[in-house]
């Protein structure tokens, strides 16, 4: 499905939410989406709807590195209630989407909702920037009727923060990520430009950010959980990210993806964003912990080769063996 980026004055819906308990979370999400028209404003009967959570890793399931399965379940149920046909997809750097999802407690979603998980496959699409036309994006996202982006708010040792824009890097096939890093990763600004170009092409119909519990410190996986008590939603992923840095009190020009979005005139002025429910200042925290030390992005050929082999080992040897052992128990 071809999407054109909508640069109209955006709305970002923000609410305080404290629980992943099923009924409370469903009520929170309905309240969150109500100012945007509800789920039915985005999903029509028969639509194939990609749910794109953050499935970074299966190695630290208690550290809040990934989008909570309870949130994905609630959103999937809302999509089904609207007549849509949800499917789950991501492209972890190491292993398969299904393997990482199960390691993070998603099995009950797959069983209860019979929710398919797809492995992303690359295809060349026209990019928003000619600099990145040779790079691949997954056809499963580009050809879905609706894309719902489900990021987790986290600190990030390379990009300061990872939110909605960075989460769409998961729409790059897993083993291709290392090559993207090698292509642009030595220059933080160019890497951020690449992420913004990817987000602009994918242009999710709706982004719902999981900030009830975030991940602070040396993220995206080496930090610690942090109760933040925030849910956010918008049809403009750049506006949503701009609102979140206001809550965390991080200057937007310090976040490479926001700085790149500003250079591309994609990030609206903060004063032009409409907040129909809570204003960001009512949700602010004063002590969100950023990484202790920023790490330069530098994926040379040896690391690319090592990362590619690690991905293939986990996906085709480790995960099948783990699944076999689980069936045998």
| Residue 325, pLDDT score | 58
d(CA 137, CA 123): 6
Tokens of 56: 């970074």
Grade residue 326 by pLDDT with cuts at 50, 70 and 90.
low
Among 140, 171, 167, residue whose Cα is nearest residue 154: 167
pLDDT at 47 over 50: yes
d(CA 154, CA 196): 18
The better pLDDT of the pair 5, 84 is held by 84
What average pLDDT does this structure show over 314-325? 55
Among 310, 137, 160, residue whose Cα is nearest residue 248: 160
As a whole-number percent, the residues of the chain with pLDDT over 70 amount to 81
Which residues sit opposite 50 in a β-bridge?
A: 87, 147
Phi and psi for 165 in degrees, rounded to 5?
-65, -50
pLDDT at 120 over 50: yes
| Residue 127, pLDDT score | 63
Grade residue 3 by pLDDT with cuts at 50, 70 and 90.
very low
Which residues sit opposite 206 in a β-bridge?
A: 148
| Residue 59, pLDDT score | 81
Secondary structure of the chain in HEC code, one letter for each residue = CCCCCCCCCCECEEEECCCCCHHHHHHHHHHHHHHHCCHHHCCCCCCEEEEEECCCCCCCCCCCCCCCHHHHHHHHHHHHHCCCEEEEEECCCCCCHHHHHHHCCCHHHHHHHCCCEEECCEEECCCCCHHHCCCEEEHHHHCCCEEEEECEEEEECCCEEECHHHHHHHHCCHHHHHHHHHHHCCCHHHHHHHHHHHHHHHCCCEEEEEEEEEEECCCCCCCEEEEEEEEEEECCHHHHHHHHHHHHCCCHHHCHHHHHHHHCCCCCCHHHCECCCCCHHHHCCCCCCCCCCCCCCCCCHHHHHHHHHHHHHHHHHHHHHHHHHHHHC
pLDDT at 258 over 80: yes
Tokens of 177: 């990520």
pLDDT at 6 over 70: no
| Residue 57, pLDDT score | 85
pLDDT at 4 over 80: no
Grade residue 134 by pLDDT with cuts at 50, 70 and 90.
low
CB neighbour list of residue 206: distance below 8 Å, 6 or more residues apart: 36, 42, 146, 147, 148, 149, 233, 234, 235
What average pLDDT does this structure show over 96-125? 91
C-alpha separations of 234 from 83, 95, 96, 229, 258 in Å: 21, 30, 28, 17, 16
What average pLDDT does this structure show over 303-329? 53
Residues 161-213: pLDDT tens digits?
A: 999 999 999 998 766 666 665 555 567 788 899 899 899 999 999 999 999 99
| Residue 261, pLDDT score | 97
| Residue 2, pLDDT score | 38
Q: Which domains does the chain have, with CATH numbers?
A: 13-322 (3.40.50.11440)
Instruction: List the Cα angle 243/126/48 in 5-degree steps.
Output: 65
| Residue 136, pLDDT score | 79
As a whole-number percent, the residues of the chain with pLDDT over 90 amount to 67
Residue with the two structure tokens 């160019």: 190
Q: What is the pTM of this model?
A: 0.88
CB neighbour list of residue 327: distance below 8 Å, 6 or more residues apart: none
Question: Is 234 exposed, middle or buried (CB count within 10 Å of its CB: 0-12, 13-18, 19+)?
Answer: buried
């Amino acid at each position: 499905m071809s999407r054109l980026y909508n640069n109209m004055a955006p709305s970002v819906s923000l609410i305080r939410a404290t629980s992943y308990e099923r009924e409370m979370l469903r009520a929170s999400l309905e309240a969150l989406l109500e100012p945007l028209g509800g789920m039915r404003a985005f999903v029509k009967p028969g639509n194939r709807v990609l749910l794109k959570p953050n499935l970074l890793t299966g190695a630290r399931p208690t550290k809040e590195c990934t989008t909570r399965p309870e949130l994905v379940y609630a959103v999937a149920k809302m999509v089904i209630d609207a007549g849509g046909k949800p499917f789950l997809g991501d492209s972890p750097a190491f292993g398969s989407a299904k393997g990482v999802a199960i390691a993070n407690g998603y099995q009950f979603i797959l069983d209860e909702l019979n929710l398919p998980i797809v492995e992303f496959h690359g295809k060349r699409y026209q990019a928003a920037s000619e600099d990145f036309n040779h790079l691949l994006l997954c056809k499963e996202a580009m050809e879905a009727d609706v894309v719902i982006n489900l990021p987790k708010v986290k600190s990030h040792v390379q990009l300061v923060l990872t939110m909605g824009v960075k989460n769409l890097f998961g729409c790059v096939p897993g083993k291709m990520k290392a090559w993207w890093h090698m292509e642009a990763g030595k220059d933080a600004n160019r890497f951020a430009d690449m992420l913004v170009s990817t987000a602009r092409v994918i242009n999710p119909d709706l982004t719902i950010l999981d900030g009830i519990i975030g991940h602070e410190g040396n993220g995206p996986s080496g930090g610690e959980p942090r109760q933040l008590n925030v849910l956010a939603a918008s049809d403009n992923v750049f506006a949503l990210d701009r609102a979140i840095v206001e809550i965390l009190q991080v200057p937007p020009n310090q976040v490479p993806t926001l700085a790149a979005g500003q250079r591309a005139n994609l990030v609206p002025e903060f004063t032009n964003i409409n907040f129909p429910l809570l204003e960001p200042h009512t949700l602010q925290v004063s002590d969100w912990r950023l990484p202790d030390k920023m790490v330069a992005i530098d994926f040379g050929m040896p690391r690319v080769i090592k990362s590619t082999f690690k991905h293939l080992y986990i996906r085709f040897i480790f995960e099948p063996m783990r699944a076999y052992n689980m069936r045998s128990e």
